Amino acid sequence: MGTRDSKKKPAAKPAGKAAKAVRPAEPAAPVLSEVRERIDGIDKQIQSLIAERARFAQQVGRAKGPLKAAVDYYRPERESQVLRKVLDRNDGPLNDEVLLRLFREIMSACLAQQEPLKIGFLGPEGTFSQQAVIKHFGHSARGLPLASIEEVFQEVEAGHADFGVVPVENSGQGTIQSTLDMFLTSNLKICGEVELHVHQHLMSRTGRLEDIERVYSHPMSLAQCKAWLRQNLPKAEKIPVASNAEAARRARTADDAAAIAGESAGHVYGLKVVSGPIEDRQDNTTRFLVLGRELFSPSGHDRTSLLVFVRDQPGALYNVLSPFAKYGVSMNRIESRPSHTGRWQYAFFIDVSGHVEDEPVKKALSELGDYAADVKVLGSYPVALL
Ligand SMILES: O=C(O)C(=O)C[C@]1(C(=O)O)C=C[C@@H](O)C=C1
C-alpha cells in the first residue's frame, strides 16, 4: 500500500541522441516511507555506535588508572584532537559548527559517565558565560553560576569547581582588564579558550519599544549596542549592571524597563524580544578562558599565555620580544598592565603560538628568563576551534 507521497512515478529516461537537447529530467521524488525506513536503520546504527563509544570511553577511564574525580579524566588536548578530526572529515551537508556541537555533546556525555564536571561561571543563569560553558563542555557538565569573576577564580582555587570560564576580551571592546589582573596573584592555569559569537537582544516584559524608559545591561553590552541605542532609544536611561542576566532579571519587574542580553537570558526571565540582534558590529565575538588547576599536554594546535615582569631598564620590551622572533614563535597578542609590584612597574601579558613543551617555545622561554625579572606561564591550551 502506497501512501500519498509514495505514489510518484520515476521520471521517464531520455532516449537516444535527440534527448541531448532536452533539459535533464528532475530526479524522481524519493518515496517517503522508504527514506524514513533508511533513517530508522541509520538511527539504530548511530545509537549502538554511541553506546559502543561510551563503553570505550569507560575503558579509557580504566586505562588512566584509579582516579578520584571527573576532573582527573578530563583531557582537553584529546578533545580538541577528536573535534579537529571531525572538522577535517566534514564534507557537508551539515556545517562545521553543527557537527562540532553534536560531537561535543557525545564527548561530554561520555565523560559524565564518571561524574559530571563542575564548571564555575559568571552567573546568573542565561549569561553569555553560561553559553560559553555549554559550547566548551557540553550539556552534561554541571554549571555553577557565581556572582563575580573573582568568585569564579576563588571557587576553582578552592576545588569547589573543577574549572571556571571567564570572559577576557571582546572583538569590538577589547580586553577585560579585571580578568587579566586576576592572574597577577592567582596560581590558576589557563587550560582552554572559547570563542562565542555574541548576539545582543533588547527584551522587555511587554515587547514594545514605545514602553521603554530604562535599559539595563552589562557596561560592555551597552557599549556594543551604542549606535543602535542612540538611533532607536536616545531618551531612555542606560543603567549598567553586573551581568546581562541580572539586567534581564531587573527588566522583568516593570513594563517601562528593558534589558540588553542574549536571547537565552530572556527565556530564563520570561521576556519578549523587542528587537535583535542589535549589536553594532556583526562579527561581535567574545573570547573566554577556561581556568583550571593544572597544565595539560600539547594537542598539536596550542597557544601559550605568559605573564612577564620586566626590569626597569633600556630596551626591556625589545629584550622580551626578541627571543620569540629568534626561535620563530609567533606572538598573537601583547598587553601591558601595572604589575602591582611597585609604582610604574609593568607586566606584559603575552600570547604566543605553541605549547610550553614545544621546542621553539621552550628555547624562547629559557632565553627570556635572562632578561625578565620573572616569567609566569599562565597556561598552554588548545586554540579555540570555531
Ligand atoms: O580519550 C580520553 O582520554 C577520554 O577520556 C575519552 C574522551 C572522549 O569521549 O573522547 C572523554 C573525555 C576526555 O576529556 C577526552 C576524551
Domain map (residue ranges) of the chain: 31-66, 69-198+284-296, 201-275, 297-382
In CATH terms, the superfamily for domain 201-275 is: Periplasmic binding protein-like II (3.40.190.10)
Listed in sequence order, the residues at least 6 apart from 268 whose beta carbon sits closer than 8 Å to its beta carbon are 124, 125, 126, 245, 248
Residue 371 Cβ contacting ligand 1 at under 6 Å:
no
The pLDDT score that the predictor gives to residue 21 is: 64
What per-residue string of b and e applies to 240-265 under the rule 16 or more CB within 10 Å gives b? ebbbbbbbbbbbbeeeebbbbbbbbb
pLDDT tens digits along 102-161: 999 999 999 998 889 999 999 888 889 999 999 999 999 999 999 999 999 999 999 999
For the domain 297-382, what is the CATH code?
Answer: 3.30.70.260
How far apart are alpha carbons 244 and 84 in whole angstroms? 32
The answer to whether the pTM exceeds 0.90 is no
Per-residue pLDDT at 164 exceeds 60: yes
Q: State pLDDT tens for residues 341-383.
A: 777 778 999 999 999 999 999 999 999 988 898 999 999 999 9
DSSP state of 234: T
C-alpha grid cell, residue 325: 622572533
Ligand 1 neighbourhood includes 67 CB (under 6 angstroms): no
**What's the CA-to-centroid distance between 78 and ligand 1, angstroms?**
6
Q: Provide the pLDDT for residue 345.
A: 78
CATH of domain 69-198+284-296: 3.40.190.10
Give CA–CA dist 381/295, Å, rounded.
8
Ligand 1 centroid, distance to 82 Cα (angstroms): 9
Mean pLDDT value of segment 214-228 = 95
Question: What is the tens place of the pLDDT at every residue in 347-356?
Answer: 999 999 999 9
Q: Is the CB of 71 under 6 A from ligand 1?
A: no
**289 CA to middle of ligand 1, Å?**
20
pLDDT at residue 324 greater than cutoff 80 = yes
Residues paired with 120 in a beta bridge:
144, 164
| Ligand 1 center to 358 CA (angstroms) | 23
DSSP, collapsed to helix, strand or coil, labels residue 179 as helix
| Residue 162 in contact with ligand 1 by CB distance below 6 A | no
Q: What percent of the chain has pLDDT over 70?
A: 95
Residue 307: CB atoms within 10 Å: 19
Helices (H), the chain: 32-63, 70-73, 76-89, 96-112, 128-137, 149-157, 177-182, 219-224, 226-232, 244-251, 263-268, 316-326, 359-371
Can you give the pLDDT at residue 20? 57
CA of 74 to the centre of ligand 1 (A): 6
Identical fold between 69-198+284-296 and 201-275: yes
Strands 118-122 and 142-146: parallel
Distance between CA atoms of residues 347 and 54, nearest Å: 45
